[in-house]
Amino acid sequence: MKNAITILFFLVCTGAAFGQQETELLKGVVSYVSSQNVYVKFASTEGINTGDTLYASNNASLTPCLVVRDKSSTSCVCISLLKEKSKIGEVFFARTVVKKEPKKEEPVVAVPEDTLTKASPEPIQTDIGKDEAPDYKQKIKGRVSAASYSNLYGSEATHRMRYAFTLQGNNIGNSRFSTDNYITFRHTVGEWEEVTTNFRDALKIYSLAVKYDLDKKSNITLGRKINQRISSMGAIDGIQAEKGFGNILIGAIAGSRPDYLDYGLNFDLLQFGVYLGHTSNKDNKFQQTTLAFVEQRNLSKTDRRFLYFQHSNAYAKNLNVFVSLEADLYQNIHDTVSNTLSLTNLYLSLRYKLSKTISVSASYDNRKNIIFYESYKSYIDQLIDDETRQGLRFNVNYRPFKTITWGVNASWRFQKDNANSSKNLNTYLNFSRIPWINASASITANLLQTNYLDSKIFGVRITKEIIPGKLTSDLYFRMVDYQYNSYEYKIQQQIAGLDVSLNLTPKLAFHVYYEGTFDQKTDALHRFNTKIIQRF
């Protein structure tokens, strides 16, 4: 109400003034919008003063929308009077007094009032002085979610709850500050005592950091965050700094490693290091290389000292390469010190596109086992992941038709003593569109052989969009046959599942999931999952 009275009073006063002098309208175009200001570009701002109002055309009438806070020779920095946010390319008009003796210099372009109702031209690209538009533009995305996981096995039932929050805020408020957060909280219904006795096990902070950009190529990060230059090291708790010189960069880390048991802070596991990097995007071929020296400690004693190397490159149009390795320079295992150079972690991946229809890839992985602090996969899915991650892997994808893709991948994990070897063969046939039912489908087969278990899995999955953009269903069925080699115990299971996703709004979604596992020797296992996700 107060704003309305102010605008009305202003219109009355300006109307009286304009009734005494001849006026003209100057057209301006919005060239940038920040969280607080609107920047409007004019051919010239001569005749526009601080405190003047800018108007929008509405059916041959003028509506006050902006107030000029500051100006340069061609641009005005304005404060909005509207609830809605202005858009780049939007047209506003400034009302100025016509001078009887205009200057001989470049005249101010006048826009007759009878042209206000005509279509506006396409938005034009304009440049604003560095003092008017910020160098850093805000970009924020995130989501919050709440989920339930219920398992029903015979007369037993467990219900787990999980809440998650993720936020990636780049240049908040067009400033140099950015933040990265990924936090979860989980608990089992009826077992709250476990949360109170070990809160760090319930609360998982996978990322919580603040970054400050010193300039476009230099920054300082404080908190917990994975450094993409040395990503295989995992999260780093502490401070990270990076300085760029053209395509070359140098960086440093100082802090600690997350606790192995509950992923909490553990200042007994100190680490620090430096790295040198190079990035290039010449001829649209991106490449990035990092060489780091890192020392890790345990209870203030040097525990490990190693070199880290990471490289990614698009050597050719259709060839992509990624490699990361760690070579130990110093180890202290059970008070036994070793200074011998040894390769301890290696991952190599090659991906090549032979043609528009065929692509191949190969990888080798001998990295240490991954610790899962959270996993909601079924037993057989988790088993396949654990047994096939390390070793050699080959993959071929063939697309004979536009809607059909066939793929085969094989993996082989080997050791000198054959103590933990495994072989896996997986094939799939995907149909992106089935005309008769207007759905997509896939058929899969997986054969796994380890020292202690052999398994065969065959499955089919159908996905259909029931209401375009709103409701999607996913129905699948799998037959599982696995046998433990140490004793004659064979299991045959049938697994059926249904997943329904509903988009309540463009950013609010609801999911319902059910999976049933059935066999003749044990009770059926029912898994229910519901989740609601709000994006912003």
Question: pLDDT per residue over 379-418, tens digit each?
Answer: 667 666 666 667 899 999 999 998 899 999 999 887 666 6
Question: pLDDT per residue over 357-370, tens digit each?
Answer: 999 999 998 877 66
Mean pLDDT for 289-312 is 91
94 pLDDT tier (thresholds 50, 70, 90): confident
Pick from 94-98, 283-287, 326-330, 441-445 the range whose average pLDDT is largest.
441-445
420 pLDDT tier (thresholds 50, 70, 90): confident
pLDDT number for residue 65: 81
pLDDT averaged over every residue in the chain: 81
Question: Could you tell me if 115 and 121 are in contact, meaning their C-beta atoms sit under 8 angstroms apart?
Answer: no
| Sequence letter at residue 350 | L
Residue range(s) in the chain whose domain bears CATH number 2.40.160.10: 354-536
Question: pLDDT per residue over 135-174, tens digit each?
Answer: 788 999 999 999 999 999 988 899 999 999 999 999 999 9
Question: pLDDT per residue over 493-507, tens digit each?
Answer: 899 999 999 999 989
> The pTM is what?
0.67
Q: Taking Cα atoms as reference points, which of 460, 448, 452 lies closest to residue 381?
A: 448
Residue 104 pLDDT greater than 80, yes or no: no
Q: What is the DSSP letter of 350?
A: E
Q: What percent of the chain has pLDDT over 90?
A: 42
Distances (CA, A) of 450 to 387, 459, 482: 8, 21, 11
pLDDT number for residue 34: 72
The 3-state secondary structure of 365-415, one letter per residue: ECCCCCCCCCCCCCHHHHHHHHHHCCEEEEEEEEEEECCEEEEEEEEEECC
pLDDT number for residue 281: 76
CATH class of 2-115: mainly beta
pLDDT number for residue 127: 40
Q: Could you write out the DSSP letters of every residue in 59-111?
A: TTEEEEEEEEEEE-SSEEEEEE-SSSPP-TT-EEEEEEEPPSS--SSSPPPPB
Question: Could you tell me if 206 and 226 are in contact, meaning their C-beta atoms sit under 8 angstroms apart?
Answer: no
Residue range(s) in the chain whose domain bears CATH number 2.40.10.340: 2-115
pLDDT number for residue 418: 65
Residue 462 pLDDT greater than 80, yes or no: yes
Dihedral of CA atoms 466, 468, 471, 474 in degrees, nearest 10, equals 60
Q: How many residues does the chain have?
A: 536
In CATH, the number for domain 354-536 is 2.40.160.10
The C-alpha atoms of residue 110 and residue 151 are separated, in whole angstroms, by 73
**Other CB atoms within 10 A of residue 410 CB:** 16
Q: What percent of the chain has pLDDT over 70?
A: 82
Question: Could you tell me if 204 and 195 are in contact, meaning their C-beta atoms sit under 8 angstroms apart?
Answer: no
Q: Taking Cα atoms as reference points, which of 253, 303, 305 lies closest to residue 277?
A: 253
pLDDT number for residue 58: 65
Residue 253 pLDDT greater than 50, yes or no: yes
Q: What is the DSSP letter of 46?
A: T
Quick one: which H or E segment has residue 3? helix 2-18
At residue 207, what are phi and psi to the nearest 5 degrees? -155, 130
The C-alpha atoms of residue 172 and residue 138 are separated, in whole angstroms, by 5
Residue 29 pLDDT greater than 70, yes or no: yes
Residue with the bigger pLDDT between 188 and 17: it is 188
Residue with the bigger pLDDT between 481 and 122: it is 481
